[in-house]
Amino acid sequence: MIALLEQGREVDLASARQELPKCPGIAVLRDAGEIVAMCALKRVRSSYVASISKKSGYALTDAPEVGYVVTDCRWQGRGCGRTVCTAMLQQAEGPLFATVREGNEGMIRILQANGFHQKGRCWPSDLRLGMSIGLWIR
């Protein structure tokens, strides 16, 4: 799964190596046993939620984050990301949030289709110079 996240170039891989095994839920789509898309429900981390609240200017309450969403480049454009995210989000209860790079239209469409709305202000990405991150909540 880390190799797939590395391919997507949207997440901090050091953090993902630590946090992915602690996720309470992970949805995957496989082809011939190979993971071609994934979506995770991350554990609640109060200090992380507080940092997102500060960056966005939106009073976010402790909630799980939807993240680690990636589709193998050979499978992109086929609805795989939507499939795994929708499966995960149909099982999740209560408030959720996601942080998404501005311009990641595929992920934004998936979130909107699942009842998420952008809140607060965008902030500079730590991973991609010149890019901004937005907060989405449901």
The pLDDT value given to residue 8: 65
User: Residue 47 CB: number of other CB atoms within 10 A?
Assistant: 6
User: How far is 131 from 102, CA to CA, in rounded Å?
Assistant: 7
Q: What is the DSSP string of the chain?
A: -HHHHHHHT-S-HHHHHHHGGG-SEEEEEEETTEEEEEEEEPPP-HHHHHHHHHHHTS-PPS-PBEEEEEE-GGGTTSSHHHHHHHHHHHH--S--EEEEETT-HHHHHHHHHTT-EEEEEEEE-SSSTT-EEEEEE-
C-beta atoms surrounding 7 within 10 Å: 13
pLDDT one-digit tens code per residue, 36-78: 999 999 999 999 999 999 999 999 999 999 999 999 989 989 9
pLDDT confidence of residue 87:
92
What pLDDT digit, counting tens, does each position of 1-23 carry?
777 677 767 777 888 888 999 99
For residue 27, what pLDDT band results from cuts at 50, 70 and 90? Answer: very high
Task: Express each pLDDT in 111-137 by its tens digit.
Answer: 999 999 999 999 999 877 889 999 999
The predicted model gives 19-28 an average pLDDT of 94
Confidence at residue 91, expressed as pLDDT on a 0 to 100 scale? 87
* pLDDT at residue 34 tops 70: yes
Identify the structural domains of the chain with CATH numbers, from first to last: 2-137 (3.40.630.30)
Residue 81 near residue 110, CB atoms below 8 Å: yes
Residues 6+ positions from 21 with CB-CB distance below 8 Å: none
> Which pTM value belongs to this model?
0.88
